[in-house]
Structure formats: C-alpha cells, structure tokens
Amino acid sequence: MWSEKYRPQNISDMVGNEESRSSIMEWFAKWKKGTKPLLLIGPPGIGKTTIAYLVAKQFGYDLIGLNASDVRSKSRINEILAPVLGNTTILGTPMIFVDEVDGIHGRGDYGGAEALIQILKDPTVPIVLAANSDVSDKMKSIKKVVKIISFKPIPPRLLRVYLENILKKENATLSPGSLIKVIDKSRGDIRSMINLTQSLVTGFNPQTEKSFETINVEDGINAFFKANSVEEARGVLYAMQIDPRQKIDAFYSSIITSNLDKNTLAKYLEIISRSDILFGKIMKTQNWRLLRYLNETLIELYQNDDRIRYSKYNLSWPLLNRIRWDGRKIKSLSSLMAHKLHLSSSSFSTIGLPFVLFCIKNKKLELELEETFGEIIEKEMELIK
C-alpha cells in the first residue's frame, strides 16, 4: 500500500501544518512531569498519527499506542497503562499515544473516558491524543485537561508536490486532468489521495478520465454483474462512490427482484447480510475506518450473472402502496387503541386488531372512532376470511 510505503520517515518529510508541527516539537522539548497532555485535532489523513510516531522516535520515547477500541473500559485502560504510569525504569522512557480519542463511546462502559481523564489530569509520562473532531460532550471534558493543537487540511499546491514526488519514485504517470481531480477529490487528506492514486495507476482498467468518475448506482450494479473478471467488478465497486447504506440497499433490491433460484438467493443474501452487519458495527462504534472492508465483503457477490438487473424497489407495487397508504392509517389506529388497551402498538395489531375487526364484522362491536378510520376498518374487515 503506497500510503504506508510513503509514510514519512522523518519529520522534515512531512508537508503542511508547519506551525502545528513546530508547536509539538516545542512541547516535547519542554516536557516535564505534570505538563498538560497534547490533543491533536484535525481531519483524517493529514499526519496526526505520523507525527506522533516520528516525534517519539526523534526524542527517544517508546511509544505505547492505544486506539479507541482499547479505550473502551476502565479496566482495559488501567491494565495497559498502569505499568507505564508506575515504574518507568523497566520500560525505558515510555510515552502514551491515544488515537481516535473521539471514538471512545458511551457504549458498554462509561468508565473508559473517566479513567482516561484521571490519567490526563496527572501525567507522569508524555501523553498525546488525536481526534478528528472535538464537538462531542466527551471531548468537552477531555479538552479541559489538555493543550490543543489543530491540524488543517493540506493545501492543494503542497499535495501536488507530494504526489508528483511519489509518482516519480514509482515511475508512474497520471494525466494532468486526473492529477487535478485526485487532488481535488482528496480535500486535503493525503492518505486518501495516495490511495486513490494507487488504485488509478495500478488499476486494472486502462487509465482514462472515466475510470474514477463516479458511476451512478444503476450503471454500477448492472456493470458489476456483467463484469468479465473479479478485478473489473472490483473496479466498478470502488467507482460507485455513494453512501454505503445506499450501496448495500441497491445490491439488496437488485438481488431480491432478479428472480433467482433459492440457493443463489440465499447465498447472495448471506453476503448482503454480512455487509449490513459491518455497516451496523461502523454506525454503532463510529469507527469509519472499518468502511474500507465493506467493498471487499460486497465483492464476494461477484459472478458473471446476467439475470441480475438494477432495481430501486424490492417490493411489489401493491405492497408498496399498502405500506404507504394503509400502513400509515393502521399505525395511527393501532397507537390510539394500543394505549387504551395498555398494549404496545405491535402487540395490538398482532393480537388485538384482528379480533376487534372480526367482532365489528359480525356486528357485535361498535367503535366510536374518528370518521377518518372508517375506510381502513372497512378495508381490513374485507380481508378477514
């Protein structure tokens, strides 16, 4: 991966954010027990993690790295950090780096953030934190006990110099049009710029202006199943730069409606199900970096299958209409009656409504309801056998 291969080896190799970098150096140079920890804030891919590792190297610290997934519970934090904070002679000269600190979540154990703050208040070794954003409540309490250094997106002209340098080393070229688009698309995120360049340059498609133009959902799904090789399908998948939720749903709808035999259908839906789990986990933990694995799960769907065509909807029209019109009315009827019968709406429509309708149909029960419900009650009564 180029973004790893070209991760700067020296602080002087880095680009952009000169002032922030020199503030970090200064902080390290002046560090003594009790100095407020550092919090680096800035968008992804601009060198927060890189500089932490490089500075540690330069000042001769042994960096103990943690990321959000380690920092979830108090016991885990103490387990990892207690030896560091206590007797420092065994471990040389340690420092702590907590990446993605904004990813510490309220889930599971609230003690995680608190335990961290306790450590931040009384630092015995240098502590550096990194975060993409500082707006959450959790960050507010962390911000009180640290010194903040902000990082900005890298300006296009620096990105260009950096990118051209890499291309030269790789003996690769990118058309001027593509170069500009790559830089523009990366919005100051060096890592994503390098990744995108690598996929273009080493890509399987001949490099054209089109090869990384975004493909719309419909063309993407159709091209995916028409592709002649898995590499081609992967290229299509990566080019579908749409919201991941939309991507999963588009595959789901298309597969559901393509009249597949039950074995193939089950096989495909299992893969979609796993993609959805991955997305669910990303949403719950806000670990967006896991998104990189989504396309690799979806690629398992690939086989040249000309039965599959893109479809936006995955239900028959009558059912879609029933959801839209009847569903809404039944929902408001249920929530009204459920309350009177001390049930949840779900329970009422399952074990209450059918009996109510049956009694009305047999003219043994009258409901005093608003007239607006008349129509739906008539309609549902008709459906009872």
Partner 1 sequence: MLSTGMWVEKYRPQKLSEIVNQTEIIGSLEELIKNPADMPHLLFSGSAGVGKTTAALCLARQVLGENVKDYTLELNASDERGIGMVREKVKKFTRFAGMADAPFKLIILDEADEMTNDAQTALRRIIEDTAKFCRFILIANNISKIIDPIQSRCATFKFTSVPEEDVIARLAEITKKEKVKADKKGLKEIYDYSEGDLRHAINLLQATASLGEVSQENVKASAGLAKTSDVDLVLKMALDGKITDAREKMIELIKVYGMSESDFLKYLNSSVFKSKHEHLSKILEVIAKYDYRILVGANPEIQLSALLAELGNIE
# of chain residues touching partner 1 (CB under 8 A): 65
Interface with partner 1 (CB under 8 A), residue from 204, 293, 313, 358: 358
352 token code pair: 């209450």
Interface with partner 1 (CB under 8 A), residue from 133, 344, 374, 375: 344
Q: Taking CB under 8 A as the rule, does residue 33 contact partner 1?
A: no
Q: Taking CB under 8 A as the rule, does residue 246 contact partner 1?
A: no
Q: Taking CB under 8 A as the rule, does residue 371 contact partner 1?
A: no
Residues 6+ apart with CB under 8 A from 9: 54
Tell me the C-alpha distance between 151 and 154, whole Å: 9
| Shortest CB 89 distance to partner 1, Å | 40
Judged by CB under 8 A, the stretch of 118-126, 183-191, 296-304, 347-355 that binds partner 1 is: 347-355
Judged by CB under 8 A, the stretch of 45-53, 122-130, 206-214, 338-346 that binds partner 1 is: 338-346
- x/- mask, partner 1, residues 107-146, rule CB under 8 A, reads x--x------------------------------------
DSSP secondary structure letters along 234-299 = HHHHHH--S-HHHHHHHHHHHHHTS---HHHHHHHHHHHHHHHHHHHHHHHHT-GGGGGGHHHHHG
- 162 versus 279: smaller Cβ distance to partner 1: 279
Judged by CB under 8 A, the stretch of 77-85, 119-127, 296-304, 366-374 that binds partner 1 is: 366-374
Q: Taking CB under 8 A as the rule, does residue 365 contact partner 1?
A: yes
Nearest to 163 by CA among 193, 134, 199, 129: 193
- x/- mask, partner 1, residues 297-326, rule CB under 8 A, reads ------------------xx--x--xx--x
Q: Taking CB under 8 A as the rule, does residue 331 contact partner 1?
A: yes
Interface with partner 1 (CB under 8 A), residue from 243, 368, 370, 371: 368
| Shortest CB 359 distance to partner 1, Å | 4
Judged by CB under 8 A, the stretch of 163-171, 211-219, 304-312, 353-361 that binds partner 1 is: 353-361
Residue 79 burial (CB count, 10 A): 11
Q: Taking CB under 8 A as the rule, does residue 337 contact partner 1?
A: yes
Interface with partner 1 (CB under 8 A), residue from 86, 155, 177, 327: 327
CA atoms within 13 A on the CB side of 212: 24
H-assigned helices in the chain: 2-5, 18-30, 48-59, 74-85, 111-121, 137-143, 156-169, 176-186, 190-201, 217-226, 230-239, 244-256, 262-285, 294-298, 317-321, 328-340, 345-347, 353-361, 374-383
Q: How far, CA to CA in Å, does 339 sit from each of 34, 158, 349, 353, 365? A: 58, 63, 12, 13, 19
Q: Taking CB under 8 A as the rule, does residue 334 contact partner 1?
A: yes
Tell me the C-alpha distance between 204 and 105, whole Å: 40
Q: Taking CB under 8 A as the rule, does residue 279 contact partner 1?
A: yes
What strand order describes the sheet that includes 38-41?
A: 62-66, 94-98, 127-131, 38-41, 147-150
CA atoms within 13 A on the CB side of 116: 33
CA atoms within 13 A on the CB side of 9: 2
Judged by CB under 8 A, the stretch of 130-138, 208-216, 305-313, 331-339 that binds partner 1 is: 331-339
Residues near partner 1, by CB under 8 A: 106-107, 110, 245, 248-249, 252, 256, 262-263, 265-266, 269-270, 272-273, 276-277, 279-281, 283-284, 315-316, 319, 322-323, 326-327, 330-331, 334-335, 337-347, 349-356, 358-359, 361-369, 384
